[in-house]
Structure 1
């Protein structure tokens, strides 16, 4: 399937000592770029999380937030760690002696200090399997949101492809007749300008110019590139870079079409094609 690089998912798990939460969100990026915001007590989980995410994602700037909010059971009596509290007080006094301008620790900071509640301390090392299980659930939802948006983007691209095919089908049959009319006018002007020049000379000049304004090859390549865009979309997977390259090729053919245009029909078709290509390129920038 085709996936967008934009996605979001959040999962929580209620545990005996609190609530574990893992949040994933991503935006566009040329490469796969991770940014982790992990609670200090769970810092050891960053590498396993990185490996898990990398196994499922190919592109995007991905932010992963992992937090644990401790909870107190009903009727549970909290007890401060007196030894740790005394040690903090002594350290705070030393800091203020050396740095009188230093701000004192707030009550909130003291209460959140690791180990401050003594026997209430949580074994975060044992939470590893739980964290990974939660991450897999979040990743499933995350990839599902990216896939849904990718499906919508792919449909929008196919609509533009169909519109481009319609333009090519409409203009291609009219080009030979329009070019014939143009070359007849050119022949008449050359005869008027060159006067006594031989008919062979005039025919030769007209033939050279007719070759220069022939756009059959450009139209054929446009159709081939559009076929490839549809093939890539159907194949799915991480195809954003491939599709972006095809947009460059389509744009190159449209520019050549415009530069070789000697008739209004081709000029107008080239402008419409370039507009549709740019619309597709904007959508493709969001694809993985």
Structure 2
């Protein structure tokens, strides 16, 4: 079992990779890549889709300069500028013209002394592919670690559902006595009112049958076993677990509607609380 939530980052010479994901209904891939070799984006998409089935996944790459950046000093142009300034000062001095002393800032401001540096070539595609393989492996390992922790949480919640189901079963004798007394009292009221219609008595018997929750408890047991099997299964199981939580809710709602006993209603409400927590956690399972 893996979580849809994961994070990984990788630093290499002049490169910073980041990959993160959160839960989503399907697989949504978002890329932030600089102008790179044409084969990089397809490689990223293939690597992610071959690793994950669901999740909102973002992959980003930032390049930083590894050599000198910005303008580069042109030594020949600088020498010419210095010679020109020295010649100008000599001519001015010979003619008796006062000039302000030359400064380094003045020399460096002469046009042509600085020139644009050459842009660095992007890393080779094979280098980027190797980066990507390491990044995706680390991200997938992080999802697996989170999934293992999530599995423990889900397992405990399913165990709690099983415990509450057993508590409902243990109430069966007390509930049967309560329902029997309720129907005896109803029959007595009918007799007191001199209503002895067989049809009415048949309806009362039918209500007694409808109040039975054995089928709901049996189906809960089946869903509990199925959920435990999914926790031990390989591959994406989030959608199937989500379906089972809906089935848990359906059976619990029916039990509550048929309850007729305050203790059983309390168990049903507690079941709903646990199932809600289970459903919330299941949303993070791939």
Q: TM-score range by the shorter chain?
A: 0.7 to 0.9
Q: CA RMSD in A?
A: 2.2
Give CA-to-partner distance per residue, 1:98-157, whole Å, 9 cap, x none: xxxxxxxxxxxxxxxxxx523xx4332x61111111111111110111111111111111
Q: How does 1:183-262 map to 2 (within 5 A)?
A: 183-195=180-192, 196-198=194-196, 204-262=202-260
CA 173–206 in structure 1, closer or farther in 2 if over 3 Å, else same: farther
Offset at residue 202 of structure 1 (A): 6.4
> Under a length normalisation based on structure 2, what TM-score does the superposition of the two structures give?
0.79
Offset at residue 263 of structure 1 (A): 1.2
Offset at residue 188 of structure 1 (A): 2.0
Counterpart for residue 138 of structure 2:
141
Counterpart for residue 28 of structure 2:
33
Counterpart for residue 66 of structure 2:
71
Contact 1:32 1:60 (8 Å CA) reproduced: yes
Contact 1:31 1:58 (8 Å CA) reproduced: yes
Paired residues, number: 243
Match for 2:154 among 154, 157, 180?
157
Larger radius of gyration: 2
Counterpart for residue 42 of structure 2:
47
Contact 1:190 1:202 (8 Å CA) reproduced: no
CA 201–7 in structure 1, closer or farther in 2 if over 3 Å, else same: same
Offset at residue 200 of structure 1 (A): 5.8
Q: How does 1:97-108 map to 2 (within 5 A)?
A: none
Instruction: Please say if 1:6 is aligned against 2:1.
Output: no
Could you tell me which runs of 5 or more consecutive residues in structure 2 were left unpaired when the two chains were aligned. 75-115
CA distance in 2, matches of 1:79, 1:212: 92
Q: How does 1:10-29 map to 2 (within 5 A)?
A: 10-14=9-13, 19-29=14-24
Offset at residue 161 of structure 1 (A): 0.7
> Under a length normalisation based on structure 1, what TM-score does the superposition of the two structures give?
0.78
